[in-house]
Structure 1
Amino acid sequence: MPLSYVQPTADSPWGTYLSQIDRVLPYLGPLARWAETLRRPKRTLIVDIPIELDNGTIAHYEGYRVQHSLTRGPGKGGVRYHPDVTLEEVMALSAWMSIKNAAVNLPYGGAKGGIRVDPKVLSQKELEKLTRRYTSEIGIIIGPQQDIPAPDVNTNAQIMAWMMDTYSMNTGATATGVVTGKPLHLGGSLGRVKATGRGVFVTGREAARRIGLDIRGAKVAVQGFGNVGSSAAELFAAAGALVVASQDHSGTVFNGHGLDTAQLQAHVKASGGVAGFAGGEAMGLEEFWDVDCQILIPAALENQITAARAHRLKAKLVLEGANGPTGSAADDILAERGVLVVPDVICNAGGVTVSYFEWVQDFSSFFWTEDEINARLDKIMVGALNNIWDTADHHRISLRTATFAVACERILSARQERGLYP
C-alpha cells in the first residue's frame, strides 16, 4: 500500500514518529542522507481474515503485518488484537521497534502486527480460528530468520502457541523460534512475562538515582495494570515506593497510603480491571492526571499524555511503559517544566530483550535460569541507558532524542555499509 494512503496528523502515532525522526536529523551527520529510509516501512501486508463463528455465520476481520526495517536483522515486534488497530498505528509501532531494538543493540529490525477486533467478544474457539488464519495469511513474510512476532495488547502465550503451531504445520517442521513469548514447555523463556515491567523498573531506578530521587517512599501512579504496569508496580513497591493510583479501561483507584499491588493484581485477574478494588477509592478518568506523585508510569496505549495533561502532571519522572504514550507537543511541555521522560524506546525494551534471549535459547536448545535471565537483562538495560544518557549530555538533548540518535546511527550505518541492491 502506498504511503499516500496514510495521512498522519501531528499527534497520530505515525505523525509522532515522523516528528521524532525530524528532531534527530541534526545529530546524524553524513548519515542523514539515508534518513528517508526511516520514514518508509520496507513492507506492509494487509490481510483479510475470514472465520466461521460459533453461530455459523462468516465474519471478516482486517489484519496487518508491517516490517519497518530489516537492515540490522530479522523483523521483531508484537501482535495486538484491538478494535482500534489501524495500518497507521501498526506502521508507527513497527518503526518504534526498529528504534528500540537498535537502542539496546539487539540484532533485529523492527516489525509489528495487529488485527482490528475486540477479542473479548470471541469465544476461545473463535479466537483460535482467528489466530491460525491470520498466521497463515502472514506466513509468507514471517519466520525465525525473517520476522518473529510476540505478544502485545490482548495477546498472550496461548496465542503465540497457536501461531507457532500453525506456522510449523504449514512449513512441515516444528519452528519454535518463529515467535517469542511462548509457553515454557514450547520453548518459552523464564522471566519473559514480567520482562517489560522489569525493564521499566530498572531504567526508572537508574534515572531516579541520576536525578537524586529516592525511590523509597516515592509516590507512583500507574496507567494500565496488565503485564507491564502490574510488574513495574510490584517491583517499585518491593523497592519501598508507594503505588498510590492505578488506572485501566475499567476505571481508576487511589489510595494515598499505597495500594497493595499483590491484592490489586488478584482483583484484576478475577474481575478484569482495577474498578471496584476494595483497597482504594474510585477516581474520575481525568483526576488520575492530577494525582500527587513523583513517578508516573503510562503503560496503556498511545497518546495518553496530551498537551493539556502535560501541563497538569505533578510527577518529576515519567517512565513510558507503553509505546508512544506521549504526544510531541506534550513532550516539549514536559521538557520545559523540567519533567524527565525516559522514553518508550528504551524504557520498555525489557520485553524484546528477553524475547531475544528466548530466540537464542530456542536455536541452541539450551535454556537459562530466571536469575541468569534477569541478570543479563539488567546489564543490557543499564548499559544501554548509560550510553543514551551520555549522548544526551554530550549534545544537550532529551533522552528521547538521544535514544533516537543512538539507534538511528546504528540503523543507518548498517544501511550505508550494506549498500543498495541492485
Structure 2
Amino acid sequence: MRNTDPFDFFRDHRDTIFRWLGILGVALLVFLLVRWWAMRKGGWKAAWRLLCREVAVTGNAFAAPVRAWLRHRRDLRLLVRLLRHVATWRDAERALAAARTAAAPARPYAVVVGERTVSVLLAGTNIPAPKGIWVVAPGEDGHLWTTARTNLPSATPEAEGVRPVVLAVGVAEHRCAFLDLSVGPATVAVDGDSRSRTAVLQALAAQADARLPQPLVVVAEGVHPGFRGGPVRDAYRTARQTPPRQGIPPVLVAAELPDPLPTDLEAPGLRVLVLGPGRGHVRSLLTDRRGQLAVQGTPLLVRCTALGLAVARVLRSIPPVLPPAPAATAIRGSASAELFEEERAAVTTHGPAQTASADPDAWHDFAESTVGATAPTRARSAAEETTRTATTAAPPTAHRAPAGHPAAATQPGTPPATQPNTHSPAGPPRSPRP
C-alpha cells in the first residue's frame, strides 16, 4: 500500500469512490432538509412528537377497517345471542315495569340488558334513592339503576294500564340496549348519517311489526325498498283511525310526515317513527357515519351497525308485547287476603270463579297466578264438601220405615212414599212434588 500510486488507486476504484461520495451527499442533503423542517416545527422534540403522531394516525387508518369489522362481528353475535331468547325481552319489560313503580315520579325510558344484569335509565329531576332490588353502580349517577336479572319480580307489580313496548336500538358496553316506545314524546325521529339512519328506522319498523298486533303498525312508502307502502297521507289517516288494542296505541312508520298534517282526525295515542328531524315534540335518535347512535338529551350511546342484520336473523323469535294486566290482579290489602281464607270459600266460589268462566280472555295471561289458578279448585272443593255433608246427614236406607208406616213422612232426609191415586180417574199415578 505504501508503494501504491494514489492516482492508480483512484483510477482502479473510481466507481466505488464516486458511489460513496454520492451517498454521503444525499445523506447530507436529507439531514439539511430534515433540520430545516424540524426548525420550522419548533425544534427537534416538537418535530419528533409530530412525527410519532403522524405515524400513529397512518397506522390507525390502515387498522381501523379491520377493527371495525371485528367489532361489527362481535356486536352481531351478541345481539343475536340475546335477542333470540324470549327471556331477554321479558326481563327488559319487567325491569321497566318494576322501576316505574320504584322510581316514581321519575320515568324509565330505556333499559340495558346483559348476560346477568339489567340497568334502567331514568328521566326526571326528582329521582328518589334506589330501593329494594335496585342499586346505583359505582361511578354512575342516580339516573342509572342496576340489578341482577334473577332479582326481577316474576310478575309486573303495577301495570297502570300501559305495557312497556321495548325495541332494541344497539349495543352498549357488551349489553343490548332497548328503548321504551310507550313513554316520552309520541314521535321518534331517526336523524343523522343517511345510511345509518335508514338502517335503524328499518330495524325499528321490523321489530314493531313483529311485536305489536297486526293492524296496529302502518308503514308508508319510502321506508324500505322491498315494501311498497301506501302514500304517506293515506297511511297517516289509516293510523289515526286505527283504535288501540289491549292498551297499545297504533304506530305509524314513515320516511316523512305529510305537510300539512290532517287535523280532522283525533287519536292522541298515535306513535310515529319518522326519518329525519321530525316536527313538534320529538325524541331524536342521532346516528353518525361510524355507526353510533345517541338518544339526544340522554347519556345513552350505543353502536347500531349490526342492528339491522341481527334483527333480520332473529325476527321469527321476537316475542309479542304482553297486554296490560287486568284490574283483578291489582287487589291489595285485606281484599286479596280474603281470597286465601278457607272459611270464605263460598264467597270465592261466587266471585273470581264466575268471573274467570264469564270472561276467559281476561284471565288468559294470568292462568299461573294464585287467584286465577286456585279459585275454580276451591269452588269445586266447596261443592264436593256440601254434597258430602248432605249425604252424611241422611240416615241409611236399611233403617228407614216401611212405605206405609206413618213415621216414613217424618224421617229426615227421606222423600215421602209414592202410592197410587185411587181417587183420580186420570189413570197412572203421578209423582209427588218435592
TM range (shorter): under 0.3
Give the structure with higher Rg (CA).
2
- Normalised by the length of structure 1, the TM-score is 0.20
- Normalised by the length of structure 2, the TM-score is 0.19
